[in-house]
Amino acid sequence: MSSFNSQFLYSVTIILLGYILKRTNLLQQKDGEALARIIFNITMPCLIIVTFSSIKIDGSLILLLVIGIVYGLLLAAVGVFVFRKDERKVKGMLTMMIPGFNIGMFAYPLVEGIWGKEGLKYFGMFDVGNAFVIFVLCYVIGSYYSGDNIDIEFKKILYKVLKSMPLLTYVIICLLAIIGIHLPSYVLDVSGIISKANMPLSLLLLGVYLNFSFQKSYLKKIIMFLSIRYVIGLGVGIALFFLLPFEDMFRYTILVCFILPVAGSVLPYAVEFKYDQKFVGTVSNMTILLSFLLLWGMTNILM
């Protein structure tokens, strides 16, 4: 069995463990929320520190950041057009869910296991652009369509951006790299120890949040949503994979990122803007399963 097949097998096992722990009530939803806070505020920032501490910012990495933003804007425009005839709140909910990707919790564990720190650098730069899409674009869309007379509060958007520890860590570490300042070895050593917990904790959290409940009334919208997201993602990703004149890791990053699950922040947004939380949760879980199968299939074909 090849290394990436082994990594997928380990990942599935840990995700199933998280799901079993939830089903047997050894872990509950509130435990998942605490686990998510640990991941986003501690283990993931430490992983970013270790990965980006020696990064050299070049043109291709900056381009990944730009692609992350531009592709998010493209998907949002497609969503607004496709769902233009739906009622306001349905259009807002679906369009809000389309642009962002779950990179930190879903992709990082797999990327770290398959491509190591080198792969994380590329995915991390894409995630910087993706963070703008999630915390600004998705939030603005969700807020705008949540009611008839909604004022978009830019202070609230700025607060959410500044509250994101992974995004702040990206920015600070990249600025330090550009300036030429290196973090003390003690900070890197401590961050390295903590960062090792990010992969198992993230995979466990995916298992805890898995939910296979499904309402038939959702079927038509779910099929339309998944078709837009994955048909466009696969089409554009495969085209760029073969057309772009960059190194393999750059092209793998584009191909994989375009078929990742929806961003984890859409569920808190659904709560804040009073959208259908059950629908958002169902679609989020379906994209996790579908993305996992697509990634496994593509890595076996291309690698």
Provide the mean pLDDT of the chain. Answer: 84
pLDDT computed for residue 150 by the predictor: 57
pLDDT computed for residue 214 by the predictor: 63
Question: What is the rounded radius of gyration, in angstroms, for the C-alpha atoms of the chain?
Answer: 19
Contacts of 17 (CB under 8 A, 6+ apart): 204, 207
Residue in the structure block whose two tokens are 């390295």: 192
- pLDDT over 80 (residue 103): yes
What value, to the nearest 5°, has the Cα angle with vertex 27 and ends 9 and 111? 30
pLDDT computed for residue 212 by the predictor: 66
Q: What is the pLDDT of residues 38-94, one digit of tens each?
A: 888 888 888 888 877 777 777 778 899 999 999 999 999 999 999 888 888 889 899
Q: What is the pLDDT of residues 232-254, one digit of tens each?
A: 999 999 999 999 888 889 999 99
Q: Is 263 left (phi over 0), alpha (psi -120 to 50) or beta?
A: beta
pLDDT computed for residue 303 by the predictor: 64
CA–CA separation, 199 and 302 (whole Å)? 24
The 3-state DSSP class for residue 228 equals helix
Residue in the structure block whose two tokens are 């920032």: 45
pLDDT computed for residue 40 by the predictor: 80
Q: What is the pLDDT of residues 161-215, one digit of tens each?
A: 677 787 788 888 878 877 878 888 999 999 989 988 888 888 888 788 777 666 6
- HSE-up (13 A, CA, CB side) for residue 300: 11
Q: What token pair was written down for 172? A: 């600070």
pLDDT computed for residue 62 by the predictor: 87
The 3-state secondary structure of the chain reads CCHHHHHHHHHHHHHHHHHHHHHCCCCCHHHHHHHHHHHHHHHHHHHHHHHHCCCCCCHHHHHHHHHHHHHHHHHHHHHHHHCCCCCHHHHHHHHHHCCCECHHHHHHHHHHHHCHHHHHHHHHHHHHHHHHHHHHHHHHHHHHCCCCCCCCCHHHHHHHHHHCHHHHHHHHHHHHHHHCCCCCHHHHHHHHHHHCCHHHHHHHHHHHHCCCCCCHHHHHHHHHHHHHHHHHHHHHHHHHHHHCCCCHHHHHHHHHHCCCCECCCHHHHHHHCCCCHHHHHHHHHHHHHHHHHHHHHHHHHHC
- pLDDT over 50 (residue 1): no
